[in-house]
Amino acid sequence: MDNVSQPNQIIRTIKAQTEWKNELLQAQNEVDYFLDVLNDLKSRTIGDSHKSLIVAQFVQDFHHYQRLTKRMLDEIGEIRHEMAEEIQTQNLIDAESMRDQRYFKAEMRDFQKNYKETKYKFRAFVAGFEYLTDKETTL
């Protein structure tokens, strides 16, 4: 039986969805920030074709994450809505919604792994970039 009717299971399911939603919202904010940084880097890499290509690839990657987070937020919203209706009307989450939940959990795991790897590569690239030292620093 795949239906979930225990209050603790329902709470754990809703808690996981809330955590995923918050993580996706944070990723959206990060992606916007990273794209702003990349916009600045575009003008600073004009003379260096290798760095320009890397910047262009990161822009493409982060645009992908913009689309992906939007799609995933819409998807988790639909799943949450369906589950809320089931809980209100039947006091349980049906088997189909639980399959959706398991599918989304796997999708989140893939997203987390890939996004973390992309952020790591981006931060390593930016850390080696000298544009941060252009500004005068006074102590």
- d(CA 86, CA 9) in angstroms, rounded, equals 14
**pLDDT tens, N- to C-terminus, the chain (139 residues):** 456 557 888 889 999 999 999 999 999 999 999 999 999 888 888 888 888 999 999 999 999 999 999 999 999 999 999 999 988 898 888 889 889 999 999 999 999 999 999 999 999 998 876 655 444 444 3
Give the domain extent around 25: 7-47+59-123
Amino acid at 95: A
Query: 131 in a domain, yes or no?
Result: no
pLDDT given at position 130: 65
pLDDT given at position 5: 58
Query: 1 in a domain, yes or no?
Result: no
Query: 52 in a domain, yes or no?
Result: no
Query: 139 in a domain, yes or no?
Result: no
Q: Report the number of distinct structural domains present in the chain.
A: 1
